[in-house]
Amino acid sequence: MTSEELFLQIKAKKSYLCVGLDTDIRKIPQHLMAEEDPVFAFNKAIIDATADCCVAYKPNIAFYEAQGPQGWESLRKTLNYIPDSHFTIADAKRGDIGNTSGLYARTFFDVAAAGLDFDAVTVAPYMGHDSVEPFLEYKTKWVILLALTSNPGGDDFQRLKVDDKPLYEHVLTTSQNWADSDRLMYVVGATQADALSHIRKIVPEHFLLVPGVGAQGGSLKEVSRHGMNKHCGLLVNASRSILYASSGTDFAEKAQVEARTVQEEMAHYLSEFMSPGIQ
């Protein structure tokens, strides 16, 4: 999917919500455990309930890998079920020496390899340009580099000063010099909203993937105020607050209510903070 197509979806739905499919087999409502593939049954119901409210889905690969071969199969079925209109992100946080990164890229981008065809994958930047290039070789795909993450330990290294600038700033500026840097997005945690205005000056056009609203307590309003650009430029992720809004048979209904509430708030911010605003 191109960024123009993504922006069209954002405008049509008045939403920049990414639903995180962090499906924990231990949290799936009991009645689904009798299904042949409980994880897929859960995801299917969540996708049916939330597709109108969001523009992207982000399965976190850890939740599927932890289930072994069955988990990879649930992931493949889930990805195939997501409507083509939605941007898909493999939150895998990969990155290794070049030839190994090449295999990670194949895993998530080449349908003939592992049966997966994501639009984007999250990548850790700290092994440098040759660890990221193999992902960027897929010319229709996106790489989402970790810049300033939402967790408390994110500050341990990412805000350390190197040549008077925080390390995350070097990630942003150095990666801008790489080939195909127009197909980079960046992860910035919602809990790091104080840094967003500064980050926007460094990468004014790029999309930011912003996890950390909902369960982690980040403010959607502050993220939108400081992070939005004229093409919205934000994908704000919520996982647990939507997936586990209820643990009963009404889980999908409650997930829809939660996703709709976030979408309505987003519609408001698109009018307020996106210049010239959305009609």
Chain residues in the site for ligand LLZGTKA7 (CB under 6 A) = 20, 22, 60, 91, 149-151, 187, 189, 211-212, 214-216, 237-240
Pairing label, strands 165-166, 120-123: unpaired
- CA 196 – CA 206 distance, rounded (Å): 12
Toward ligand LLZGTKA7, which CB reaches closer, 1 or 123?
123
For residue 20, the minimal CB distance to ligand LLZGTKA7 (Å) is 5
For residue 223, the minimal CB distance to ligand LLZGTKA7 (Å) is 13
For residue 211, the minimal CB distance to ligand LLZGTKA7 (Å) is 3
- 170, 180, 167, 190: which is closest to 237 by C-alpha? 190
Catalytic residue among 93, 165, 201, 230: 93
Can 11 be counted among the known catalytic residues? Answer: no
Residue 111 near residue 102, CB atoms below 8 Å: no
Toward ligand LLZGTKA7, which CB reaches closer, 153 or 276?
153
For residue 34, the minimal CB distance to ligand LLZGTKA7 (Å) is 26
Give the residue ranges of DSSP H helices in the chain: 3-13, 38-50, 62-65, 69-81, 98-109, 111-114, 129-136, 154-158, 167-175, 196-202, 220-227, 240-243, 251-273
Toward ligand LLZGTKA7, which CB reaches closer, 137 or 244?
244
Omega of the bond leading into 59 within 30 degrees of 0 (cis): no
- CA 277 – CA 35 distance, rounded (Å): 45
Toward ligand LLZGTKA7, which CB reaches closer, 122 or 131?
122
- 182, 156, 186: which is closest to 169 by C-alpha? 186
Indicate which residues carry an active-site annotation.
93
